[in-house]
Copies of this chain bind each other. A is one copy, B any other.
């Protein structure tokens, strides 16, 4: 998808939130914001939002002289997610449909933006995870996905955030059949997106082969990914995309992609027939 004019104020707000999360120095934040505004002014809106967001975060990393300003937050996210995982796994095991239950926790993991929280509230987390089994899933393609995985030789999972990856592991654990599973991470750090090191911390290497998509775009913008990644993308029998960034970059792509996400943007919701906050398991692209 292209970026909309409505994305522009949202980019600026995201940049401010990002700066605030990684530094408390108001002067530094103002400096960063000025440069981000110019970056956004020069951006080509024919590109998907994650491509413009990646340009913003390149500026932020460069200005902070830090290759991974979210590193500490990502570590904390993963630690907290690891503490939550056993209870989630217990619920999944007891569920009538453990595969769908595992999808629900993979979405719940996306909701709990560990990186954004400075104070950890066990109650808040418990509430959110209790909600996980009750939220209606929109356009629920879980059983179609189950059938596809059963028959697949190769399944490619496109990861989203650190921390959340722990729940992707529980999900992959529930895959039927004997497919080879590949878990794609970002080629280098961007925001709190999962990288190779983060995925290992989350234990993804115990259930999948971790591969890089070769870019620092917080999505899967195929023209920017590596040749090696694209080969895997086009050869995989089943592709599962986690999160809105991957969804935005893969809408109308030339492969069938199962998208598991929470709708976090009003404009996107309106244009694609969802509501803000929807939990979605949908299919995009063609095959």
Q: Which residues of A contact B (CB under 8 A)?
A: 5-6, 8-10, 12-13, 16, 20, 26, 29-30, 33-35, 37-38, 40-42, 45
How far apart are A127's CB and chain B's nearest CB, in angstroms?
24
Report if A26-B13 is in contact (Cβ < 8 Å); known contacts: A37-B37, A37-B38. Answer: no
Are the C-beta atoms of B41 and A37 separated by less than 8 Å? Answer: yes
Report if A16-B6 is in contact (Cβ < 8 Å); known contacts: A34-B41, A38-B37. Answer: yes
Are the C-beta atoms of A16 and B26 separated by less than 8 Å? Answer: no
Q: Give the one of A5, A8, A16 with max B CB within 10 A.
A: A8
Contacts of A45 in B (CB 8 A): 30
Are the C-beta atoms of A5 and B34 separated by less than 8 Å? Answer: no
13 other A-B residue contacts (CB within 8 Å) besides A5-B16, A5-B33, A8-B16: A5-B20, A5-B26, A5-B30, A9-B10, A9-B13, A12-B12, A12-B37, A34-B41, A37-B37, A37-B38, A37-B40, A38-B38, A41-B41
Number of copies: 2
A9–B15 Cα distance when bound, in Å, is: 9
A40–B16 Cα distance when bound, in Å, is: 14
Are the C-beta atoms of A29 and B5 separated by less than 8 Å? Answer: yes
Q: Give the one of A9, A16, A40 with max B CB within 10 A.
A: A9
Contacts of A40 in B (CB 8 A): 37
Given B8, B33, B38, B41, which contacts A8 in the complex, CB threshold below 8 Å? Answer: B33
Which 3 pairs across A and B sit closest by C-beta, in order of nearness? A9-B13, A37-B41, A9-B12
Q: Which B residue's beta carbon lies closest to that of A10?
A: B9
A168–B26 Cα distance when bound, in Å, is: 40
A17–B158 Cα distance when bound, in Å, is: 36
Contacts of A16 in B (CB 8 A): 5-6, 8-9
How far apart are A1's CB and chain B's nearest CB, in angstroms?
15
How far apart are A266's CB and chain B's nearest CB, in angstroms?
12
How far apart are A246's CB and chain B's nearest CB, in angstroms?
25
A13–B13 Cα distance when bound, in Å, is: 10
Contacts of A34 in B (CB 8 A): 41-42
How far apart are A150's CB and chain B's nearest CB, in angstroms?
46
Could you give 29 example pairs across A and B, Cβ below 8 Å? Answer: A5-B16, A5-B20, A5-B26, A5-B29, A5-B30, A5-B33, A6-B16, A8-B12, A8-B16, A8-B33, A8-B37, A9-B9, A9-B10, A9-B12, A9-B13, A9-B16, A12-B12, A12-B37, A30-B45, A33-B41, A34-B41, A35-B41, A37-B37, A37-B38, A37-B40, A37-B41, A38-B38, A38-B41, A41-B41
How far apart are A16's CB and chain B's nearest CB, in angstroms?
6
A9–B29 Cα distance when bound, in Å, is: 13
A38–B8 Cα distance when bound, in Å, is: 13
